[in-house]
Structure 1
Amino acid sequence: MIIKQIYTNCLSEASYIISSGNEAVLIDPLREPFKYINYAKKNNLKIKYILETHFHADFVSGHLELSKLTKSKIIFGPNAKTNFDFVKLNDNDEIKFGGVKIKLLHTPGHTMESSCYLLFDKNNKQHSIFTGDTLFINSVGRPDLAVSSNFSLKQLASMLYDSIKNKILPLNDDIIIYPAHGAGSTCGKNISNKTFDTLKNQKIKNFALNLSISKDEFIKIVTKDISAQPKYFIKNVKLNKSNNISKISEITKKPFNLSIDRFKKEKKSGALVLDVRHQKNFIEGHILGSIFIGLNGRFAPWVGQILKNPKTKILLICNNENKKEALIRLSRVGFDNVVGFLDGGLEEWQNCGEEISLINQISAKELLSKKNNSFNSIIDVREKDEYNFSKINDAKNLPLSCIYDNYKMLDKKKQYIIHCQAGYRSVIAISILKKLGYKKLTDLDQGYLGFNKINLMSP
Structure 2
Amino acid sequence: MKIEQIYTGCLAQGAYYIESKGEAVIIDPLRETRPYINRLTKDNVILKYIFETHFHADFVSGHLDLSKKTNAPIVYGPTANPEFEAIIATDNQIFEIGDLKIKVLHTPGHTLESTCYLLSDENGKDIALFSGDTLFLGDVGRPDLAQKSANMTQEDLAGLLYDSLYNKILPLADDITVYPAHGAGSACGKNMMKETVDSLGNQKKMNYSLNQPSKDSFIQAVTEGLLPPPAYFGMNVAMNKKGYESFDNVLSQGMTALSVQDFENIAEQSSALIIDTRSNSDFANGFIPQSINIGINGDFAPWVGAMIIDVKQPILLVTDEGTEQEVVTRLSRVGFDNVLGYLKGGFHSWLAAQKEIDFVKRITAETFAEQIDNKDYIIIDVRAASEYESEHVEEAYSKPLAYINEWLKTIDPKQHFYLHCAGGYRSMIAASILQARGFRNFTEIAGGFNAIAQTNIPKTDFVCQSKVLR
Alignment deviations for residues 275-313 of structure 1 (CA, whole Å, 9 cap, x no partner): 011111111110111111110000110111111001101
Asked if the contact 2:272–2:314 (Cα under 8 Å) also holds between the matched residues in 1, the reply is: yes
How far did residue 350 of structure 1 move? Answer: 2.1
Structure 2 residue identity aligned to 1:247: S
Counterpart Cα distance in 1 of 2:83 and 2:246:
17
Asked if the contact 1:55–1:241 (Cα under 8 Å) also holds between the matched residues in 2, the reply is: yes
Paired position in structure 2 for 1:204: 205
Paired position in structure 2 for 1:86: 86
* TM-score, normalisation: structure 1: 0.96
Paired position in structure 2 for 1:248: 247
How far did residue 26 of structure 1 move? Answer: 0.4
Structure 2 residue identity aligned to 1:232: Y
SS at match of 2:455: helix
SS at match of 2:19: strand
Structure 2 residue identity aligned to 1:123: N
Structure 1 residue identity aligned to 2:40: A
Counterpart Cα distance in 2 of 1:250 and 1:18:
28
Paired position in structure 1 for 2:451: 450
Paired position in structure 1 for 2:238: 238
Asked if the contact 2:209–2:222 (Cα under 8 Å) also holds between the matched residues in 1, the reply is: no
Paired position in structure 2 for 1:105: 105
Asked if the contact 1:375–1:415 (Cα under 8 Å) also holds between the matched residues in 2, the reply is: no
Paired position in structure 1 for 2:466: none
Distance verdict in 2 for CA 1:455–1:52, change over 3 Å: farther
Counterpart Cα distance in 2 of 1:364 and 1:194:
33
Alignment deviations for residues 76-95 of structure 1 (CA, whole Å, 9 cap, x no partner): 00111111111111111110
SS at match of 2:229: coil
How far did residue 196 of structure 1 move? Answer: 1.0
Structure 1 residue identity aligned to 2:87: V
Counterpart Cα distance in 2 of 1:174 and 1:375:
59
How far did residue 421 of structure 1 move? Answer: 1.1
Q: Aligned ranges for residues 5-44 of structure 1 at < 5 Å?
A: 5-44=5-44
Asked if the contact 2:209–2:221 (Cα under 8 Å) also holds between the matched residues in 1, the reply is: no
Paired position in structure 1 for 2:180: 179
Distance verdict in 2 for CA 1:147–1:27, change over 3 Å: same
Paired position in structure 2 for 1:218: 218
Structure 1 residue identity aligned to 2:332: S
Counterpart Cα distance in 1 of 2:249 and 2:403:
33
How far did residue 314 of structure 1 move? Answer: 0.5
Q: Aligned ranges for residues 107-186 of structure 1 at < 5 Å?
A: 107-148=107-148, 150-186=151-187
How far did residue 221 of structure 1 move? Answer: 1.6
Paired position in structure 1 for 2:305: 304
How far did residue 417 of structure 1 move? Answer: 1.3
Structure 1 residue identity aligned to 2:85: D
Asked if the contact 1:24–1:46 (Cα under 8 Å) also holds between the matched residues in 2, the reply is: yes
Counterpart Cα distance in 2 of 1:185 and 1:344:
34
How far did residue 147 of structure 1 move? Answer: 0.5
Distance verdict in 2 for CA 1:189–1:371, change over 3 Å: closer
Asked if the contact 1:376–1:414 (Cα under 8 Å) also holds between the matched residues in 2, the reply is: no
Counterpart Cα distance in 2 of 1:170 and 1:405:
45
How far did residue 247 of structure 1 move? Answer: 2.2
Distance verdict in 2 for CA 1:375–1:240, change over 3 Å: farther
User: 351-360 vs 64-73, which deviates more?
Assistant: 351-360
Paired position in structure 2 for 1:370: 371
How far did residue 455 of structure 1 move? Answer: 4.1
How far did residue 3 of structure 1 move? Answer: 0.7
How far did residue 218 of structure 1 move? Answer: 1.4
Q: Aligned ranges for residues 50-69 of structure 1 at < 5 Å?
A: 50-69=50-69
Asked if the contact 1:312–1:337 (Cα under 8 Å) also holds between the matched residues in 2, the reply is: yes
Counterpart Cα distance in 1 of 2:353 and 2:114:
54
Paired position in structure 1 for 2:464: none
Gaps of 5+ in 2: 460-470
Counterpart Cα distance in 1 of 2:359 and 2:276:
13
Q: Aligned ranges for residues 248-287 of structure 1 at < 5 Å?
A: 248-255=247-254, 256-268=256-268, 269-287=270-288
How far did residue 199 of structure 1 move? Answer: 1.0
How far did residue 369 of structure 1 move? Answer: 3.0
Alignment deviations for residues 250-269 of structure 1 (CA, whole Å, 9 cap, x no partner): 22222322233332222223
Gaps of 5+ in 1: none
Asked if the contact 1:273–1:317 (Cα under 8 Å) also holds between the matched residues in 2, the reply is: yes
Counterpart Cα distance in 2 of 1:214 and 1:343:
60
Asked if the contact 1:375–1:416 (Cα under 8 Å) also holds between the matched residues in 2, the reply is: no
Paired position in structure 2 for 1:345: 346
Structure 1 residue identity aligned to 2:401: L
Structure 1 residue identity aligned to 2:179: Y
User: 198-207 vs 250-259, which deviates more?
Assistant: 250-259
Counterpart Cα distance in 1 of 2:221 and 2:412:
36
Counterpart Cα distance in 1 of 2:167 and 2:364:
54
Counterpart Cα distance in 2 of 1:43 and 1:101:
20
Counterpart Cα distance in 1 of 2:285 and 2:206:
45
How far did residue 416 of structure 1 move? Answer: 1.5
Sequence identity of aligned pairs in percent? 47
How far did residue 375 of structure 1 move? Answer: 6.6
